[in-house]
Amino acid sequence: MSKTLFDKIWEKHVITGEVGEAQLIYVDLHLIHEVTSPQPFEGLRSSHRGLRRPDLTFATMDHNVPTKDIFNVQDQMSRLQMATLEKNTKEFGVPLASIGDDKQGIVHVVGPERGLTQPAKVIVCGDSHTATHGAFGAIAFGIGTSEVEHVMATQTIWQVKPKTMGIKIIGQLPKNIYAKDIIMGIIAKHGVSFGTGYAIEFYGEVIEQLSMASRMTICNMSIEAGSKTGMVRPDQVTFDYIKGREFAPKHFEEAKVYWQEFYTDDESAFDKQIVFDVTNLKPMVTWGTNPGMTTPVDQVLPEISNDNDRVAYDYIGLKPGIKVRDVPLDYIFIGSCTNSRYEDLEIAANIMKGHHLADNITAWIVPGSRAIRNKSIKTGIAKIFEDAGCEWREPGCSACLAMNPDKIPSGKHVASTSNRNFVGRQGAGSRTHLASPAMVAAAGIAGHFIDITVETLD
């Protein structure tokens, strides 16, 4: 019987439980941060339990970190959560990348960056965008606070096995079309819930040609399609990325042989299959209040088809029939666990080089980790942003979500490389338009969205 990549990893990790019911799954890596870990640690303490595997647990500060003045934490709750993580990781023996640490950054950036994220693992974190790590051929998903405590205490988690879905990406990727456009295009076509109840595997000729950074972007936004898990088969691109990193296996060739066992036997193994052709894909931009409310940049905003559209238009301050290029912009934000890797910054910097921000634009550029920050400074990318008039920040989740000082003011429109355009996501009353790093960078220079497949910056 044919099996999927997901099936094979799942079966390796089942400890007990019947198919169709909740099964106890072994966890290979537990990533934690300051927001969803205080209660679980206190639960361990109150029940007089230890942390089962500190060596399989890794912590970093990201959600609450101020990116302009990292050591000046003004918000009392943020300060308490961060201090609590410092205390808890020290008490329970968990490695921590704290503020200012050379290895600190967004949890879904530093896991892969340090070589902690590897094929055939089960990886969990108290954060929905844990799906990012599935780009390495791992089962990776976000968990709730009570589940975080269960993993801490037992290094296991109870889960009902989902169905599997294969999304085959075919065609020739046009110039200046990126991974962000691919996943936004899929969600625009199929909606924000088509993946509910499924573990998604992305595959096909287009996926095989993508870098690890691009694969992570696609898997990161699987959650926006309703799935907890997005995956890509591990291949030579994966192995080359991991090799030589801090936590890469010491016997790398042996590990590689093992990893190569994990792949989907054939397409018939999927419970459901979708084919998505990128040949005519255009740069994508969101206009509403969920990632499914997305349209190609060369189109006008769609007509109202239901109450959700009406409410979204009221909130975002736009109307049907407006050209995407005429959407007013006040801010641009390049960062988040979706698009803050060095490759993303390099793409954006190449567009901004030799140009300056439009007068109506305020720009925040936030690298995903201190390693990316340092490399960007060394290679001159940071200076390109600064010369263009952008604010170059310290690593953290920043304006992806309103849990730190980087908030978009009420009523202001922001072109953002983050993953969600929900009501208030980037600040109370903020109006978010998701797009690729290239599109956001170009919008910052032009002062509005442009079609980067046919237009150039003067």
pLDDT digits (tens, 9 = 90+) for 209-266: 999 999 999 999 999 999 999 999 999 999 999 999 999 999 999 999 999 999 999 9
> For strand 139-142 and strand 156-160, is the pairing parallel, antiparallel, or unpaired?
unpaired
Confidence of residue 15 (pLDDT cuts 50, 70, 90): very high
The tens digit of pLDDT for each residue in 389-433 reads 999 999 999 999 999 999 999 999 999 999 999 999 999 999 999
What's the CA gap between 198 and 227, in Å, rounded? 6
pLDDT in tens, 40-77: 999 999 999 999 999 999 999 999 999 999 998 989 99
Q: Which amino acid is at 112?
A: P
Q: Which of helix, strand or coil describes residue 187?
A: helix
CA 97 centroid distance within chain: 19
Longest dimension (CA), the chain: 65
DSSP state of 408: P
Q: Are residues 17 and 24 in contact, defined by beta-carbon separation less than 8 angstroms?
A: yes
Arithmetic mean of pLDDT, 310-335 = 98
- pLDDT category at 11 given cuts 50, 70, 90 is very high
Q: How many other C-beta atoms lie within 10 A of the C-beta of residue 68? A: 16
- Phi then psi for residue 235, to 5 deg, are -145, -165
Q: Which residue in this structure is represented by tokens 């919008």?
A: 443
Mean pLDDT of the chain: 97
Reported confidence tier of residue 458, pLDDT bands at 50, 70, 90: confident
| pLDDT of 9 over the 80 cut | yes
Q: Which pLDDT belongs to residue 164?
A: 98
pLDDT one-digit tens code per residue, 344-384: 999 999 999 999 999 999 999 999 999 999 999 999 999 99
Which tens digits make up the pLDDT trace of 137-185? Answer: 999 999 999 999 999 999 999 999 999 999 999 999 999 999 999 999 9
User: Angle 342-352/370-379 helices, nearest 10 degrees?
Assistant: 40
DSSP notation for 99-156? TT-TT-B-HHHHHHHTT---TT-EEEESSGGGGGGGGGS-EEEE--HHHHHHHHHHSE
Overall pTM surpassing 0.95 (yes/no) = yes
How far apart are the C-alpha atoms of 135 and 145, rounded to whole Å?
24
pLDDT at 297: 98
- Distance between CA atoms of residues 181 and 162, nearest Å: 26
For 288-319, the DSSP string reads: SSSTTSEEETTSBPPPP-SHHHHHHHHHHT--
The domains located in the chain, with CATH, are: 8-275 (3.30.499.10), 284-446 (3.30.499.10)
Q: Which residues of 155-189 are buried (b: 16+ CB within 10 A; e: fewer)?
A: bbbebebbebbbbbbeeebeebbbbbbbbbbbbbe
d(CA 312, CA 289): 6
Task: Place 100 in a pLDDT band, splitting at 50, 70 and 90.
Answer: confident
User: What are the φ and ψ backbone dihedral angles of 142, each rounded to 5 degrees?
Assistant: -80, 150
